[in-house]
Structure 1
Amino acid sequence: MTLLETVVVLVVDVTLGVWLGGTVFFSFIGAPTTFDVLGDGAEDVVTTLFSRYQTFGTILGFTAINLVVFAQSEAMLDSTSSLFISPLLLVALFVTIYAQIVLVPKMRRADDGFFHYHRRSIFLNSVSMLSLVGGLVCSHF
């Protein structure tokens, strides 16, 4: 493996790991703790954090996709990785962008509907996490 291949694979792994780690932290520690401490007042805080967290995920997603496309074009990834990793990352990126552009504005406008949209965000986060885990696994085959 060349130095360039090592750097590209390392940066892909770090990007996916940070993205997955941020998703896990927000979903299982950050948001639940905020609701536990602030109660009803947590909606505004979590919505603001969610927006920033989605922006962070979008940046990491575009970084990962570009690196994977580059790695595929330079034959740095084998055929199994090439076949599965891009679609998985595109799914994670799509749900992240959807949450940022569609869901967050609806959550900000919702009075009683916050928890309805919150359930959607839980579903989207689950899809994103599964896609990212799949992407990390595929990047090592």
Structure 2
Amino acid sequence: MSLLGTGLLVVADAALGIWLGSIVFFSFIGAPTTFDVLDDDAGQVVNAIFPKYYAFGLGLGFVAFGAAVIGNATGAFDGLVAAALAIVGVVLNGYARWVLIPKMEAAGDDAFAQYHKQSIVLNGVTMLAVAGGIVAIVAATV
């Protein structure tokens, strides 16, 4: 494999790996610990983090997508599956950021449980898509 191909693989894999790590950390450590420590005030902290969390994921998703598409276009590796899975994650993060968060804010505490369930599902599907993208990158090198 060429130096360009190797570099693109590293960029795509690193972007997806960092994204997956951030999802796992926030979902299983950051948010639960915040609620354990702050109780009722945790919602304000998590609501302040959400826009940044989703923007971070969007950025990493676009980087992974770009590297996978360029890697595929240059023939360095088969990056179509990884690119498609990265875009799935980007679309889900975009929906959560620009549709779900405003709905949650407008609904207030009354509909929090409903929108929280949607957020959990979106986050879980994003996590699976990103993990699948990592697997696709690894498979492209075998």
Question: TM (normalized to structure 1)?
Answer: 0.92
- Among all aligned residue pairs of Structure 1 and Structure 2, give the percentage whose two residues are the same amino acid: 46
- 1:3 maps to 2:3: yes
- 1:54 maps to 2:51: no
CA distance in 2, matches of 1:107, 1:45: 14
| SS class of match (1:76) | coil
The alignment covers a number of residue pairs equal to 138
CA contact (8 A) 1:47 1:107 kept: no
RMSD value, Cα: 1.1
CA contact (8 A) 2:104 2:111 kept: yes
1:100 pairs with 90, 97, 100, which one? 97
CA contact (8 A) 1:34 1:42 kept: yes
Query: What are the residue-to-residue correspondences of 1:1-141 with 2, within 5 Å?
Result: 1-78=1-78, 81-82=79-80, 84-109=81-106, 110-141=108-139
| SS class of match (1:15) | helix
CA distance in 1, matches of 2:38, 2:117: 19
Residue identity in the other structure for 1:53? Y
CA distance in 2, matches of 1:27, 1:52: 14
Between 1:101-110 and 1:10-19, the stretch displaced more is 101-110
Q: Runs (4+) of structure 1 moved beyond 2 Å? A: none
Per-residue deviation, 1:90: 1.4
CA distance in 1, matches of 2:42, 2:114: 15
Give unmatched runs, 5+ long, in structure 1. none
Residue identity in the other structure for 1:136? I
CA distance in 1, matches of 2:71, 2:88: 19
Per-residue deviation, 1:56: 0.4
CA distance in 2, matches of 1:118, 1:66: 31
Give unmatched runs, 5+ long, in structure 2. none
CA distance in 2, matches of 1:49, 1:115: 18
| SS class of match (2:110) | coil
Per-residue deviation, 1:86: 2.2
